[in-house]
Amino acid sequence: MCGITGGWWPQGSPDSALRVSTALDRLRHRGPNDRGHEIYPLGFGELHLGHTRLSILDLSPAGHQPMASYDGRLSIVYNGEIYNYKEIRAELQQQGFRFTTQTDTEVLLNAWLCWGPACLPKLEGMFAFALYDKQDHSLTLVRDPFGIKPLFYYHHDNQLLFGSEQTAMLALVPQKPELNWQRCYDYLVHGQYDNQEDTFLAGIRHLLPGHLLRISLQQPANAEPHQWWAPTLLKKEKLTFDQAVEAVREQFLHNIRTHLRSDVPVGAALSGGIDSSAIVCGMRYLYKDLPIHTFSYVSSDPATSEEKWIDLINQHTDAIAHKVHIQPQELAEDLDTLVQAQGEPFGSTSIYAQFRVFKLAREQNITVMLEGQGGDELLGGYSGYPGHRLLSLLEQHRYGAAHDFAKHWAKLNGLSYRHALMHLAHITLPPKVYALARQLTGRPFEPDWLNIDLLKEAGVNLCDYRPSLSTDFKGQRLIEKLAHSLQSYGLPHLLRHGDRNAMHFSIESRVPFLTVPIANLCLNLPEDYLISPEAETKRVFRAAMSGIVPDLILNRHDKIGFATPEKQWLNTINNKMKQNTKYKSAPEFIQPAAVENKFNADLKENQLHKWQAWRYLNFSRWLNKTENLIKLNINSPPRR
C-alpha cells in the first residue's frame, strides 16, 4: 500500500517540484519505506509522478516507484495490491514477457503493455494508479472497481493534478479551493458523503470506483472520466441453491487464499459478526498451522459488546487475540487526530473504534490486516434491505409472500410491521410526499440552523438523495440496491474510513469480499438466495460457511454492526464537544446561534448521541483545521 501524487503542468511551473514534494511529505504515512519523484520535461509542459511506498511484496529496492516498463515506454505510480498477480505473471511469461522483480507493479506494467486497458477486468485486487505512456504522450488515472483505494483529481485550465488524499491535493492546486456548499448540506442534513464525484472542496473530485480518466498531454482539455467496470447484472446464474452454496464457498476461500499473499505479517480485524468471523475461520480452514492474530474492539456497554462472539472465534481458530477497550475521554483526546486522519467529515464514533483497532495492530508490528467490508453489500446483510425486497415481491405480484416477509423481518429485528412499511415508503413515496413525511418525523430538509435562503440562492439542492428505480430491475429491487451500494451510496464511505484509519498507522487493509468474480456471482443469484422468505440475511453465505464457521455464529440474527456506546461517550465529553463545535469563522450558510441552541437543547435532554451533534462536531473540527487552506467565500456564495 502506498501514496501516489503528481500532475501535468502544460506550461511548466517554477514551483511544481516543491508542490509535489510537499504532497509527498503529506503522504508519508501511506508509504514510510521509500519515496520516489520523477519529472518528465516535455516540450509542451512538465509531468510529475510521485510515490511513497509501504513495502508488502518484494521488499527489496527493486520495488521502487515510479517504475518503468522494460522497454521504457510506460511509467507508473501505483497504490494497491493485485492478488492474482502470480497467475497473470505466468500468463504473460507464456507470451514472452520477462520479469526482473517479484512485484505486482511490474506485472501491471507488462499487462498494460500486452492488453492495454483491457487488462483491468483481469485484475483481482485494489488499486489506484497513474500511468504515463511515452508513445502517445497520454496520462491515465485508474481506480479499482469498488474504490477500495482512493484517488482524487483536479482538472482545470489544462492542468491535471492527482493524489491519494485531500491534504496532498491541497499542496498541488494552484489556489485555495472553496467549500462545496452542496456537499456540506448533504452531510450536515442527510449524513451523505463519498457517494458521488464531488468532495467537500469545490474542484477537487473523486475518481469514481471502476472509472478511468485518460488525457492526451498535448490536448488535455477535453477528457472526461468513463466507467470501465460495473457489476454484471440481469444475467442470472442458473444454479440450484446447493450449487450456489458451493460456488460461493469456493470463490470466498479462493479470495482468502490470494489475500494472504504477503511478505510481511498479516492479521485480521474481528468484530464477532459473520463476515469477519468467516475471514478468520477461512484462514484457519486453509492453513492449519498459520499464526493468526486478531484485533477487536470491545465495548464497555453490555448492550453493544460483542466480546463473547469474539472469544468464540478466537477459541475455535486458536488465534492470538488482541483487544482494545476505550474510555470516553480517549475520544476527546484523539478527536483532532482522527479528523485529520480521515481528511473529511465522517459518520459516527464507530470510526474511532476502528482507528484504535488499527493502532493496536501497528503496536503488534502487523503490516497487513484483513477486514470484512463488502459482505453486507454483496449479500444483503444487517437490516436485509426490507424496503427493496418488499418492492421486489410486490412487483412480482406475490402479495402474500410480501406480507409474510414483512412479519418475519419485523420479528427478527425486534420491530413492528409498520417499520417494514416505512422502509418501503422511503424508496417509493413521491418526492413531495417524502419531504412532508421527513418534516413530520422531525427530519426536515430545511432545518432552522441553516441559512436556507442563502443556500437556495447558491443553487444548493435541498433534498435527500434517493436513487431512481430503473424499469430494468422491476421485481429485482434488492439486486438493484446492492449493485448501487457497491459503487455509490453505501460502501464507498465505509471503505474510506478503513483506508484512512489503516494508512494513518502505515497498515494495508485488505477486503476479501470485494473482488469482481464474487460480486458478479452474488449479484446474479435469485434474491431469495440472499435473503430468505423468513427474512434471514446472507442466506447463501451462511450455508456456504457451514462446517467452517461455528453454527452459533452462523445462526446469529442480532449483529448490530461495529457499534460503540455513542450516547455514553458523547455525553461524558459534552463540555469538550461544546467547546469544539464553535467555529473560528463559520461559513455564512451556518446559523451559529441556532446550532448552539440546538446543541444546548440536546445536552439538556441528555441527547448528544443524536446524529446532529456528531455532525456538528465533525464538520466544525474539520473546517477549523483546514480553514487556512479554504477560501470560505462568505460574501458571494458560489453558484452551482
pLDDT for the residue numbered 636? 46
User: Residue 127: which of 145, 153, 101 has the closest Cα?
Assistant: 145
In this structure, the number of other CB atoms found within 10 A of the CB of residue 477 comes to 25
In a domain, 309, yes or no: yes
Residue 500 sits in the same domain as residue 447? no
Residues 78 and 47 in one domain: yes
User: Would you say 142 and 209 are in contact if contact means Cβ atoms under 8 Å apart?
Assistant: no
369, 504: one domain = yes
Give yes or no: residues 196 and 339 share one domain: no
Full domain range(s) for residue 117: 2-227
Same domain, 348 and 267: yes
474 part of a folded domain? yes
Element (H, E) at 552: helix 551-554
Whether 577 is in a domain gets the answer: no
- The number of folded domains in the chain is 4
- Of 500, 528, 554, which residue is a domain's last? 554
pLDDT score recorded for residue 236: 67
pLDDT score for 263: 84
Can you give the pLDDT at residue 372?
A: 95
pTM exceeds 0.85, yes or no:
yes
254 and 351 share one domain: yes
Residues 471 and 510 in one domain: no
Q: Are residues 30 and 135 in the same domain?
A: yes
Nearest to 424 by CA among 483, 464, 466: 466
Q: 144 — phi, psi (to 5°)?
A: -65, 165
Residue type, 639: R
Q: What is the pLDDT of residues 576-606, one digit of tens each?
A: 665 555 666 678 898 888 877 777 776 666 5
Is residue 211 assigned to a domain? yes
Residues of the chain with pLDDT under 70: 1, 234-237, 559-563, 566-567, 570-585, 602-611, 628-640
Let me know whether 180 and 312 are in one domain: no
Query: Following CA atoms 461, 466, 468, 474 in sequence, which dihedral angle do they give, to the nearest 10 degrees?
Result: -170
Residue 469 lies inside a defined structural domain of this protein: yes
Cell of 518: 464474487
Contact of 293 with 364, CB cutoff 8 Å: yes
364 and 424 housed in the same domain: no
Calpha distance 49→38 (Å, rounded)? 5
| Residue 560: predicted pLDDT | 61
CATH of the domain at 374: 3.40.50.620
pLDDT given at position 381 = 87
CA–chain centroid gap for 32, Å, is: 22
Cα dist from 397 to 402, 405, 420, 442, whole Å = 9, 14, 18, 34
Longest dimension (CA), the chain: 72
Is residue 80 within 8 Å of 144, Cβ to Cβ?
yes
For residues 71 and 21, membership in a common domain is answered with yes
581 assigned to some structural domain: no
| Cell 436485509, located at residue | 384
Last residue of a domain, one of 198, 227, 256: 227
Same domain for 597 and 501, yes or no, is no
Q: What is the pLDDT of residue 631?
A: 63
Domain end call among 227, 262, 282: 227
169 occurs within a structural domain: yes
Crossing angle of helices 85-94 and 104-115, in 10° steps, is 50
C-alpha cell, 116: 492495454
> Residue 63 domain-assigned?
yes
